[in-house]
Amino acid sequence: MSAATSSASTSAPSSPAPSREAASPRALLHLLFNGARALDVVETALGLGLLDALEPGPVTLGELSAKHGLVPTRLYKFLDCLESLGLVRREQPSDALEATRYWGVTGLRAAADAVLGPRSLERDREKYDWKALHGRLPEVLRGQHAMSAASFDWPPRTPEQVEGFEASMAAGLGPILETFRAHAGALWPSGARLLDVGGGDGTLAEHLLREHASLSVDVYNLPATEPLVTRTRERAGLPATRLGFVGGDFLREPLPKGYDALSFVRVLHDWPAEVARSLMQAAFAALPSGGRVLICEEFRTPERLAAQFFWSYFLIGVDACSSRLREVEFYLDALTAAGFTQAHVRPGPFELVVATKP
Ligand SMILES: C[S@@+](CC[C@H](N)C(=O)[O-])C[C@H]1O[C@@H](n2cnc3c(N)ncnc32)[C@H](O)[C@@H]1O
């Protein structure tokens, strides 16, 4: 807790933050039109440390401006911008501007950091050629224009595309690791051997191996990714017996046998339903009796659709990639149809679906 936060929360009365209704379509469009300015405001609030004081709240305008050396009448308008975005609540008990109390909504600081901070996923996405579609959506939707293979190929083909794509995926592993960590006790019996299907550059494997000394993981991925997995292994100082690589194409060949568990992490949503189902069947065929399949995906919710907005937009122009956020029932039903039992969901920032081969 910062000094600003603690002084704010002790000097102002602690009543609950006033609530706010969801934005109307018109309000939303006004805000979207002002998107660049809105981000300027949020980034500034993050950079100046205002969010640290606002989130626990309440904090008064007077306290905020004194603490940060800001002009109260200017800060008031600045906070109006944050309020119009639904990011802060305000209560104005009197005409005295400086007595106005503010609360940041729960999760604001962490959200600003995730979206705008140094490891921002959105900034990473900017490197993709979304401008190839921008302003041309009518043609794209009519099938007259698409993303060129030079801009984005699915699956990625050139070494640069493969490296750039896998680096983007590795950058977004934080919430997935959190889920795996939360359920580690139930996932990794001593000496377990995991095949991470479509396992990127091996970063997930590396993290799991660091946390579970008796685990070994092979990454199964397209042959072009082998140098990336080798690099991850060498950087981590892990032996090939703990972090291995099996090159293959799951669209053309059966999944390899010899593992206690097979994971699909952010893999199945990339494919049409029949391919996703056939991959779950391939996992069933490869696993021994008692073996488990682990599927880590985000289920379809408004929050997740928003986080995926970039890819929903970008992939309008990429027919080879489905990218479908699905409801949980899809995975549970397909696993049961493939022959798995005890299919269940373990909660987390990304959900983990686990099922066992009888
Ligand atoms: C969306 S990425 C997910 C990567 C990683 N599991 C993660 O969550 O960071 C999909 C992965 O599937 C791999 N992949 C795509 N097509 C494949 C295929 N036909 N056979 C094997 N792996 C494939 C890609 O190379 C990539 O590593």
Which of 43, 42, 46, 55 shows the shortest CA–CA distance to 84?
42
**Centre of ligand 1 from the C-alpha of residue 342, in Å:** 26
Delimit the domains of the chain by residue range: 3-116, 121-356
Q: Ligand 1, residue 162: give the atom nearest the CA.
A: 25
Q: Ligand 1, residue 170: give the atom nearest the CA.
A: 9
**Centre of ligand 1 from the C-alpha of residue 199, in Å:** 6
Supply the ipTM of this predicted assembly: 0.99
The tens-digit pLDDT sequence of the chain (358 residues) is 232 223 333 333 445 555 566 779 999 999 999 999 999 999 999 999 999 999 988 999 999 999 999 999 999 999 999 999 999 999 999 999 999 999 999 999 999 998 999 888 899 899 899 999 999 999 999 999 999 988 888 888 888 888 988 888 888 898 899 999 999 999 999 999 999 999 999 999 999 999 999 999 999 999 999 999 999 999 999 999 999 999 999 999 999 999 999 999 999 998 999 999 999 999 999 999 999 999 999 888 888 899 889 999 999 999 988 888 899 999 999 999 999 999 999 999 889 999 999 9
Angle of the 226-236 helix axis to the 159-171 helix axis, nearest 10: 50
**Centre of ligand 1 from the C-alpha of residue 88, in Å:** 39
Instruction: Give pLDDT, residue 169.
Output: 87
Which of 118, 117, 10, 114 shows the shortest CA–CA distance to 56?
10
**Angstrom distance (rounded) from CA 10 to CA 15:** 12
Asked, colleague to colleague, whether 3-116 and 121-356 share their fold, the answer is: no
Range 121-356 has CATH code 3.40.50.150: yes
Q: Ligand 1, residue 296: give the atom nearest the CA.
A: 8
Please answer whether residues 221 and 169 qualify as being in contact, where contact means their C-beta atoms are separated by less than 8 angstroms. no
Pocket lined around ligand 1, Cβ cut-off 6 Å = 155, 166, 169-170, 173, 198-200, 204, 221-222, 225, 249-251, 265-267, 270
Q: Which residues are catalytic?
A: 269
Instruction: Give pLDDT, residue 2.
Output: 30
**Centre of ligand 1 from the C-alpha of residue 110, in Å:** 28
Query: How many C-beta atoms lie closer than 10 Å to residue 318's C-beta?
Result: 18
Q: Which fold has domain 3-116?
A: Arc Repressor Mutant, subunit A (1.10.10)
